[in-house]
Structure 1
């Protein structure tokens, strides 16, 4: 019985991890349409740490005289 439970637990964790990856793929494909104004978001870095970042923030570039968007999430 214990072996069956352990195997089911491994399968469950594998499916859960796959679901999280798929959620991320779906969100990444629509994020630029949702987040079109400057805002602060919580991001997860590759090492697993989380931090707040401001996305779509615009600053004036004195050299070029143009507005530059920082942390631009649009797929160009």
Structure 2
């Protein structure tokens, strides 16, 4: 969040890479939309990963490998 605020300030006021229109909502001279993106997107991504992670990245395979490893360790 701090990097986003600094990057917006730097690129708008210092370097001039882009600018805001008069209708852009701002907080402390920084556009509201990039700040909201960094407030909303990270929690949404975490929730999506937790819901879809096992399907997309095969965590069920890892759990079965751990169970197999534990079963072989318990045998004499």
* Shorter-chain TM-score tier: 0.3 to 0.5
- Identify the structure with the greater helix proportion: 2
TM-score of the two chains, using structure 1 as the length reference: 0.38
TM-score of the two chains, using structure 2 as the length reference: 0.38
Q: Which structure has the greater CA radius of gyration?
A: 2
- Identify the structure with the greater strand proportion: 1
